[in-house]
Amino acid sequence: MKILAGNSSVALAKSVVQILDLSLAQASIKHFADKELFVEILENVRGEDVFIIQSTSYPANDHLMELLIILDALRRGSARRITAVIPYYGYARQDRKTSPRSPISAKLTANLITVAGASRVLTFDLHSAQIQGFFDIPLDNLFSSTVFSQDIIKNYGKSNVMVVSPDIGGVGRARAIAKRIDSDLAIIDKRRERAGVSEVVNIIGDVKGKNLILIDDIIDTAGTLCNAAHALMDAGALSVRAYVTHGVLSNPAVERIMTSPIHEIVVTDSIQGNEEVVNCPKIRFLSIAPLLAEGIKRISEEKSVSVLFD
């Protein structure tokens, strides 16, 4: 088994190989003057079981193209099996037609990854379950519910804690964690007029006097979570915290978080945070390296991955 790291996930890949007691495979990734990418695998991969760890996070197009070129280089190097480990699957929010002439970019991205040479995909908390059907190769989708529920119980216990879904679409994700920590569930009825702009219309459930945990899969500009936090505090909540799988955290996310009533936002290291994000006192990182390492090990040894869903 060999593990390579793309430029978007170097820190996470180093943590994974440390857990597996391996070393990262060597590769050279260069840019020409016009920013064209060149990749060369610097060791023999013929007949090997190879895993490439690369999130398609900001800059999404560069990191996606880098992943595709690495996959092609491994395929042409005669790797026996190539698994694309994509902790954060970019373009996942474009998973359906939202207007008559709009693309389904999540499906296009799946096609590109498959054609480039991936034998299978290991990813983490897909934005929607239907994306699994966009791939014609095996895909394993790991969940953050185990990692999050353990951290919630460790830091806040189960007493007077209530889980909140920030929108109707995230109810299943929030319910899974509420079940694990034996908590009640509240739902926010949200209206989104356009991308990046949302408004809280109603809160379903009694949140008064509760310590609330918002659960979401992606935080981008933080508008949805900050608006939700204001509405929940106005409804009588004692405190509001958030657990979010993928911290995209585009501008002006950090500024919004710092001026919001949210006490803390916990994100995984599926996306490598920039300096502003890492230094934000309200943002805490939770590593998914142990979970990814176990998934990689089980795939390599041809063992069941489904046990990691429990």
Alpha carbon distance 277, 254 (integer Å):
7
Same-fold call for 2-143+290-309 versus 145-287: yes
pLDDT of residue 158: 78
222 is in an annotated binding site: yes
Contact 256, 221 (CB under 8 A): yes
The per-residue pLDDT for 307 is: 83
Assess whether the previous peptide bond of 59 is cis (omega < 30° from 0): yes
Q: What is the domain partition of the chain in residue ranges?
A: 2-143+290-309, 145-287
Reduced to 3 states, what is the DSSP secondary structure of residue 13? Answer: helix
Q: In angstroms, rounded to a whole number, what is the distance separating the alpha carbons of residues 82 and 92?
A: 22
Q: What pLDDT, on a 0 to 100 scale, did the predictor assign at position 110?
A: 97
Q: What is the pTM of this model?
A: 0.92
* pLDDT at residue 236, as a whole number: 94
CATH topology of domain 145-287: Rossmann fold (3.40.50)
What's the distance, CA 149 to chain centroid?
A: 16
- Those residues of the chain that have pLDDT short of 50 are none
User: What pLDDT, on the 0 to 100 scale, is given for residue 156?
Assistant: 87
Our answer to whether residue 208 is catalytic in this structure is no
Q: For tokens 């391996």, name the residue.
A: 22
Q: Is 75 annotated as a binding residue?
A: no
Of these residues, 2, 107, 190, 210, which one is catalytic? Answer: 190
d(CA 24, CA 145) in angstroms, rounded, equals 28
The answer on whether 72 is annotated among ligand-binding residues is no
Class of domain 2-143+290-309: alpha beta
- What phi and psi values does residue 286 have, to the nearest 5 degrees? -125, 125
Determine if residue 62 is labeled as part of a ligand binding site.
no
Helix axes 10-20, 289-300, angle to 10 degrees: 60
